Structure 1
Amino acid sequence: MTAATERTSDGARPATPAHPDILAVARDQVLERGQGLSEQQVLEVLRLGDDRLEELLGLAHEVRMRWCGPEVEVEGIVSVKTGGCPEDCHFCSQSGRFPTPVRSAWLDIPGLVEAARQTAATGATEFCIVAAVRGPDARLLSQVRAGIEAIRAEPETRDINIACSLGMLTQEQVDELAEMGVHRYNHNLETARSHFPLVVTTHTWEERWNTLRMVRDAGMEVCCGGIIGMGESLEQRAEFAAQLAALEPDEVPLNFLIPQPGTPYADYDVVEGPDALRVVGAFRLALPRTILRFAGGRELTLGDLGAKQGMVGGINAIIVGNYLTNLGRPAQQDLDMLDELKMPIKALNETL
């Protein structure tokens, strides 16, 4: 007798076992045991309807509170070298390969110090120095070293944690940045490995991964995230979450595509708010202990109300002020939002 014709002793067919509800599974697996969702489980979450969104965000917030605590890490970023990048990242207005309005420019040391001072004044614990390059040359590393020394010399900024995002690194460059006292290094994988060749052709996903491995081995914290809304499928979003979980980064910045004039993605649609919030909740359930940071595009995608939903839906870090080539909200608006939500800003001594 085949399985299709098997019957119970009273002649009835046995009931087909119900597929376990993914949020019930996540409550036990992630909230209670601290084990992140698998790729297939993340995909199930991303496929939930809008009617389950509030439930998802509520669970993600519980996970964040249990495994990360109530504090929010605040960070400011500044570009020390803008535009003229030789790479062809299709989302980026700083690529020299596309006819965008962005032009190459360098920030001097006093400007770098002033940016750090303004960031520190918000109560931020992290200040990230960013450059639009494939990787740093001797001039850029010299500028970064001088900038760090100048920031450390100022009473208002000497204690802030300094992060860097300078592209792909050699082992010698990793060692030099560690010697400078760089606290955290950001290098985004941007998207799932299977989707990456459609986003960037001038370097590989594996090259980025190798930089991150060297950074971790050198003792710096790893910051690695990406951009949602670059034509990837739900399956690839789930793949990306699983690949980030395998990397075990200290921080994951979540960006949502801002279509940039002149780039190949200039006409892409902005991610819908519910889809963005599903990503926030799903990534928190995949990465229960990781700093999950709101980054670029949240204002365009979510607005004020959606940002609040994200903050009570798994997010526990935020970039305040402007981004690299896009204006953000005034920093005080985000600080007021955190105050309204009664979310304390992480103190500097908690990040050391």
Structure 2
Amino acid sequence: MTEAPLTADQTAPGDATATAVANLAEPAAILAHARREVLEGGRGLDEAGVLAVLQLPDESLTELLALAHEVRMRWCGPEVEVEGIISLKTGGCPEDCHFCSQSGKFDSPVRSAWLDVPSLVDAARQTAATGATEFCIVAAVRGPDERLMSQVREGVAAIQAAVEINVACSLGMLTQAQVDELAAMGVHRYNHNLETARSHFTKVVTTHSWEERWETCEMVRAAGMELCCGAILGVGESLEQRAELAAQLARLEPDEVPLNFLNPRPGTPFGDYPPVQPRDALRAIAAFRLALPRTILRYSGGREITLGDLEVQGMLGGINAVIVGNYLTTLGRPAEADLKMLADLSMPIKSFQSTL
């Protein structure tokens, strides 16, 4: 079991110590500190160190990305984990996550729909054919009811009988009984993102709390499932809050951290927000790698519009996992394009056997 969540005053943005370190240290000193702590010592940067990295000037970006890549290679190795995701239940969600077009509270074009079990199995087969080792079943819900748990139960069993791939789930907030059942049915990994820093959470979601998300994450880890817990950047947070989130994720110790970048969706409260600037996105990738040296750091939603042709730089700046194909309500790059990128970079795809 991890420690209790940090209190609000411990993680508030604009912390005086963090700001002082970031403002006073020279770029060379910041990078040298990160090299000693993370590359050589294997210790993730603390909140102040992450903030200093996020505030580095553009002139230091190439050196920063190279350091983050060295950290990834030393503490994670060269392999890249490939995953596909599928939406079992789309739209009509009762929550009000302001970035999400699946919320039933917003006037977005996404409409409620359910996928049947044969379609789940077919999608898992297609995902495995790309070389992926993970297939994640996602549902747009606050948490699963009995109908959803029944369909997940049937779907997981059918996929396990037909396809050689790890099955993951993302079904919202869970009860202890649901956590135990998912673990018993062989779900390999559970995704439940913190989304944003605790101090910023109420500006992004009002229908549930950051603490409720943290509680589900702790139950998942205690039950023996791998925990996937990540972030969405570009939802109005400050650099201080990005550093806060990285520190909170490090405290939680997830097996995987998916990094999403806001892809503004029509009809949502954040529909007019600008995408994260490419250089800021690359700095964030490197900073999260330096905060989480041993964690799977996955390219996720929004990378296509945020980074464009700079995606390769992210792969060479700390990323060691990708979601291939489409996302839940938005288009991703074709799986073939990502696989070609990995081949061109001579990055081996993690095998299914090595995940067992």
- The corresponding residue for 2:21 is none
- The corresponding residue for 2:50 is 42
Q: What is the 5 A alignment of 1:151-170?
A: 151-154=159-162, 157=163, 159-170=164-175
Distance 1:104 1:21 in 2: 52
Q: Does 1:300 align with 2:305?
A: yes
- The corresponding residue for 1:283 is 288
- The corresponding residue for 1:315 is 319
- The corresponding residue for 2:81 is 73
- The corresponding residue for 1:269 is 274
**CA deviation after TM superposition for structure 1 residue 18, in Å:** 7.5
Q: Which has the larger radius of gyration?
A: 1
- The corresponding residue for 2:345 is 341
Equivalent of residue 249 in structure 1, options 254, 270, 274: 254
Paired residues in the alignment total 332
- The corresponding residue for 1:101 is 109
User: Any idea what the Cα deviations from partners look like across 1:60-94, whole Å, max 9, x if unmatched?
Assistant: 00000000000000000000000000000000000
Q: Are residues 133 and 24 of structure 1, via their aligned partners in 2, closer, same or farther at CA, if it must alter by over 3 Å?
A: same
- The corresponding residue for 1:3 is none
- The corresponding residue for 1:177 is 182
**CA deviation after TM superposition for structure 1 residue 153, in Å:** 2.0
Name the aligned partner's letter for residue 348 of structure 1: F
Distance 2:324 2:200 in 1: 29
User: Any idea what the Cα deviations from partners look like across 1:282-301, whole Å, max 9, x if unmatched?
Assistant: 00000000000000000000
- The corresponding residue for 1:140 is 148
Query: In structure 2, the residue corresponding to 1:195 is in which secondary structure?
Result: helix
Give the TM-score, by structure 1 length: 0.93
Q: Are residues 131 and 281 of structure 1, via their aligned partners in 2, closer, same or farther at CA, if it must alter by over 3 Å?
A: same
User: Any idea what the Cα deviations from partners look like across 1:110-158, whole Å, max 9, x if unmatched?
Assistant: 110111011000000000000000000000010011111111221xx1x
Name the aligned partner's letter for residue 236 of structure 1: Q
Name the aligned partner's letter for residue 217 of structure 2: L
Q: What is the 5 A alignment of 1:197-216?
A: 197-216=202-221
Distance 1:314 1:160 in 2: 25
Distance 1:45 1:18 in 2: 10
Q: Does 1:127 align with 2:135?
A: yes
Query: In structure 1, the residue corresponding to 2:198 is in which secondary structure?
Result: coil
- The corresponding residue for 2:9 is none
Equivalent of residue 328 in structure 2, options 321, 324, 333: 324
Give the TM-score, by structure 2 length: 0.92
Query: In structure 2, the residue corresponding to 1:87 is in which secondary structure?
Result: coil
Name the aligned partner's letter for residue 311 of structure 2: A
Deviates more, 1:19-28 or 1:217-226: 19-28
CA RMSD of aligned residues (A): 1.0
Q: Does 1:350 align with 2:336?
A: no
**CA deviation after TM superposition for structure 1 residue 328, in Å:** 0.5
Give the gaps of 5 or more residues in structure 1: 1-16
Query: In structure 2, the residue corresponding to 1:97 is in which secondary structure?
Result: coil
Q: Does 1:52 align with 2:60?
A: yes
**CA deviation after TM superposition for structure 1 residue 350, in Å:** 1.0
Distance 1:226 1:238 in 2: 12
Q: Are residues 83 and 47 of structure 1, via their aligned partners in 2, closer, same or farther at CA, if it must alter by over 3 Å?
A: same
- The corresponding residue for 1:11 is none
Name the aligned partner's letter for residue 192 of structure 1: A
Distance 2:84 2:160 in 1: 16
Distance 2:214 2:42 in 1: 25
- Percent identity among equivalent residues? 75
- The corresponding residue for 2:200 is 195
- Spell out structure 1 runs of 4+ moving beyond 6 A: none
Name the aligned partner's letter for residue 241 of structure 1: A
Distance 2:232 2:242 in 1: 10
